[in-house]
Amino acid sequence: MDKKLEPVLSLNGSIEPPADKSISQRAAIFSLLHDGVSEVKNYSPAEDPQSTLRCIQDLGAKVTEDGGVLFIEGTGRNGIQAPDDDLDCGNSGTAMRLLSGVITGAGVTARLCGDSSLTSRTMTRIIEPLEQMGAHILARNSAYAPLMISRLDPLKPMNFELPIPSAQLKSCMLLAGLFGETPTRVIESIPSRDHTERLLRLKIEEEGDKRIIHASREDQIPNQNYTIPGDFSAAAFWMVAGCLLPQSEIRLENTGMNPTRNALLHLLQQMGASFVLENERTEGAEPVADIVVRTSDLRAINVPRNMMPNCIDELPILAVAMVFAEGVSVISGAEELRHKETDRIMAIAEMLRSIGANFKEMEDGLEIYGNPDFTFEGATFKSFHDHRIAMASAVLALKGESPSTILDAECAAVSYPNFWEHLEVLS
């Protein structure tokens, strides 16, 4: 589907972003591991969490729905079943990487596959350490899905120092570790999203700047009875749109405010954005608030390297804000962006090129020469079938002087199925 968008003068109103994609997927997987029934409220209808939900059923969980609540009967760690067919992770790196940890730990044999984007993303980062824990993994060209995982040798718990600040890798290793007789210790020096350790209540030691997270068979898997908060990464599109469009005020209800996820809020504040947080509270193990954003004049910023994992999914929309921020903004140390659903540095560069913005592409990021008075005629944006590029392009399109088109815009549904309806509500 190609989406034609008219420019808009301002955005106003209140919306609730879809349930958090990362937390939904974890709620499903941890419910599978829980020996009993979990009642999960506000599970995300987006494509990635739905792929994960199908996969846990293939591994033996029983899922029913009543009045918007999912009842997930887990198998417990001892009851996980080898699936009859491939586990189809769709577009989801989180599903593939976290489930690979579960399958290794459980010692069942399974084949994980995905769409053309997922099967072109490297899985080496999980293959090598899972093999050290005793898994036998057959991968296409030794690096790509489909992954055929089995384990004949006993599980070998390990101390694992994260070579990259990736929450998917961290969670994969912790999930495998949950099946071990002795603890697996995952050592993290640059913090990444901490939903796994929060929701599983894992033991954490601090050693200087390092966090050492422990997981073993001794850890009880709690039920997942909570309401999943709105996705901060989905709210991010409206946070930037609200800043950029004149006379705008947008209220983003029930938005997750996990401090390992919300760097964009602090970065935009440093750029001059005005936000008010209301109704601050905790849902399950996660902080939640309503965010009110208003039109703001923005100035350029350098994004510090150690903040990257905390805003990695928001960099496409942050780049849009930078186009209209006074001065030179720099994103560097973001090479991980090249390994997302698409090469997002290339995709952001292409998006900025489509409007004639002034920028430089670097191997590990972008330098953007911003101008609050920048104008452009409508453009045709390629989404590269990447949900976050489609939605960032849509926000950019609203600032054009004439209509724009987003190609293959349906991919927004990977994380945000009602994005286009919310745009209409706010316009």
Active-site annotation, residues: 313
Take residue 255 and report the two structure tokens written for it.
Answer: 């938005």
Q: Is 22 in the site for ligand S3P (CB under 6 A)?
A: yes
Nearer to ligand S3P, 22 or 31 (CB): 22
Between 92 and 254, whose beta carbon lies closer to ligand S3P?
92
CB nearer to ligand S3P: pick between 174 and 368: 174
Closest distance to ligand S3P from the beta carbon of 226 (Å): 17
Using alpha carbons, list the distances in angstroms from residue 237 to 152, 292, 382. 46, 13, 17
Q: Specify the residue, 21 or 214, whose C-beta has the smaller distance to ligand S3P.
A: 21
Using CB under 6 A, which residues numbered 169 to 188 contact ligand S3P? 169, 171
Window contacting ligand S3P (CB under 6 A); options: 36-44, 168-176, 209-217, 376-384:
168-176
Q: Which stretch binds ligand S3P (CB under 6 A): 56-64, 141-149, 160-168, 280-288?
A: 160-168
SS3 string of the chain?
A: CCEEECCCCCCEEEECCCECHHHHHHHHHHHHHCCCEEEEECCCCCHHHHHHHHHHHHCCCEEEEECCEEEEECCCHHHCCCCCCCEECCCCHHHHHHHHHHHHHHCCCEEEECCCCHHHCCCHHHHHHHHHCCCEEEEECCCEEEEEEECCCCCCCCEEECCCCCHHHHHHHHHHHCCCCCCEEEEECCCCCCHHHHHHCCCEEEECCEEEEEECCCCCCCCCCEECCECHHHHHHHHHHHHHCCCCEEEEEEEECCCCCCHHHHHHHHCCCEEEEEEEEEECCEEEEEEEEECCCCECCEECHHHHHHHHHHHHHHHHHHHCCEEEEEECCCHHHHHCCCCHHHHHHHHHHHCCCCEEEECCEEEEEECCCCCCCCCEEECCCCHHHHHHHHHHHHCCCCCEEEECHHHHHHCCCCHHHHHHHHC
Q: Minimum distance between the CB of residue 248 and ligand S3P, rounded to whole angstroms?
A: 27
Choices 133-141, 163-171, 262-270, 396-404 (CB under 6 A): range interacting with ligand S3P: 163-171
Provide the minimum distance between the beta carbon of 121 and ligand S3P in the complex, in angstroms, as a whole number.
Answer: 9
Q: How far is the CB of 76 from ligand S3P (least distance, A)?
A: 23
8 A C-beta contact, residue 278 and residue 231: no
Asked if residue 251 binds ligand S3P (CB under 6 A), the reply is no
Q: Which is nearer to ligand S3P, 22 or 44 (CB)?
A: 22
What mask of x and - would describe binding to ligand S3P in positions 75 to 104, judged by CB under 6 A? -------------------x----------
Q: Tell me the window of 4-12, 164-172, 203-211, 350-358 that interacts with ligand S3P (CB under 6 A).
A: 164-172
Decide: 387 and 418 in contact? Cβ < 8 Å.
no
Q: Pick the binder of ligand S3P from 34, 77, 185, 193 (CB under 6 A).
A: 193
Q: How far is the CB of 340 from ligand S3P (least distance, A)?
A: 6
168 sits near ligand S3P (criterion: CB under 6 A)? yes
Residues 329-368 that bind ligand S3P (CB under 6 A): 336
Near ligand S3P by CB under 6 A: residue from 50, 166, 258, 329:
166
Smallest separation, CB 258 to ligand S3P (Å): 11
Residue among 55, 312, 315, 319 that touches ligand S3P (CB under 6 A): 312
Q: Which of 313, 320, 378, 379 binds ligand S3P (CB under 6 A)?
A: 313
How far is C-alpha 157 from the chain's CA centre?
27
Shortest distance, CB of residue 92 to ligand S3P, whole angstroms? Answer: 9
**With 0-12 CB in 10 A as exposed, 13-18 as middle and 19+ as buried, what is 246?**
exposed
Please state the closest distance from residue 66 (CB atom) to ligand S3P, in A: 27
Nearer to ligand S3P, 345 or 426 (CB): 345
What strands lie across the sheet with 210-215, from one edge to the other? 159-161, 184-188, 210-215, 204-207
Interface residue with ligand S3P, options 61, 113, 167, 345 (CB under 6 A): 167
Q: Does 123 bind ligand S3P (CB under 6 A)?
A: no
Task: Please identify, among the stretches 7-15, 68-76, 162-170, 179-187, the one whose residues bind ligand S3P according to the rule CB under 6 A.
Answer: 162-170
Token pair for residue 24?
Answer: 């939904």
Q: What residues make contact with ligand S3P under the rule CB under 6 A?
A: 22, 94, 166-169, 171, 193, 312-313, 336
